[in-house]
Amino acid sequence: MDEIVERYRAHAGAFERKVAGVVPGRWDASSPCPLWTARDVVGHVVDMHGVMLRPFGRGLSPAPPVKEDPLGAFRAARADVEAVLADPARAAAAVETPGGRMTFAEHVDQVVSDDMVIHGWDLARATGQDETIDPADVERMWADARSIPADLVERLRTPGAFGPGVEILGPEVPLPPDAPLQHRLLAFFGRDPR
């Protein structure tokens, strides 16, 4: 449990630094996610924090809207998730999720924690910030990605398979086998790192 909580905090901290690093005038910049601006990327991450809380009968606290204050909106969503993770009983509570029965901490770890890594790269690319992902995260996420059964990967790449308008993975971008591991990870998630 401690490892999951620490990983979430590290990923949320890195994402928050990228949100704070967006200079005025860059919020409407296009991101690597089709049809999303930099602001939309933050909005998605905030929304996913709410998705994590919903199966556990919780929601996001009142906060500034992403449109007006992306950093404030993210900080508030992060605080909501961290409050649950900080309570061992609530963090260990298990319910049914789209990924099966799991604890709150496992749900956060499997979905939003790593989502912030990939969307942190999206935000960095959109706003001209450092795009480097922690090499330990790249290695761990690459191993996890390669262990997903092919039929599940196909479902994850099918728009709408997890609900209307929900797209988990874009089509994999072909890269040479000797491409850097970060590039291969991003390509798996449907990003063209070139």
pLDDT one-digit tens code per residue, 5-23: 999 999 999 999 999 999 9
Structural domains of the chain sorted by starting position, each given as residue range(s) with its CATH number in brackets:
2-188 (1.20.120)
Which residues, in sequence order, are bridge partners of residue 102?
A: 95
Query: Which residue carries 């390669």 as its tokens?
Result: 146
State pTM to two decimals. Answer: 0.93
Beta-strand ranges (E) seen in the chain are: 94-97, 100-103
Which residues, in sequence order, are bridge partners of residue 193?
A: none
How far apart are the C-alpha atoms of 126 and 28, rounded to whole Å?
9
DSSP conformation letters of 19-83: HHTPPTT-TTSB-SSTT-BHHHHHHHHHHHHHHHHGGGT--PPS---TTT-HHHHHHHHHHHHHH
Pairing of strands 94-97, 100-103: antiparallel
The secondary element (H helix, E strand) that includes residue 88 is helix 88-91
Q: How many helices (H) and strands (E) does the chain have?
A: 9, 2
**Ramachandran bin of 170, using left for φ above 0, alpha for ψ from -120 to 50, beta for the remaining angles:** beta
DSSP 8-class letter at 158: S
Residue 163 predicted with pLDDT over 90: no
Q: Which amino acid is at 146?
A: R
Residue 162 predicted with pLDDT over 80: no
How far apart are the C-alpha atoms of 58 and 74, rounded to whole Å?
17
How far apart are the C-alpha atoms of 84 and 53, rounded to whole Å?
9
Confidence of residue 157 (pLDDT cuts 50, 70, 90): confident
Q: Which amino acid is at 12?
A: A
Residue 162 structure tokens:
């997890």
Confidence of residue 37 (pLDDT cuts 50, 70, 90): very high
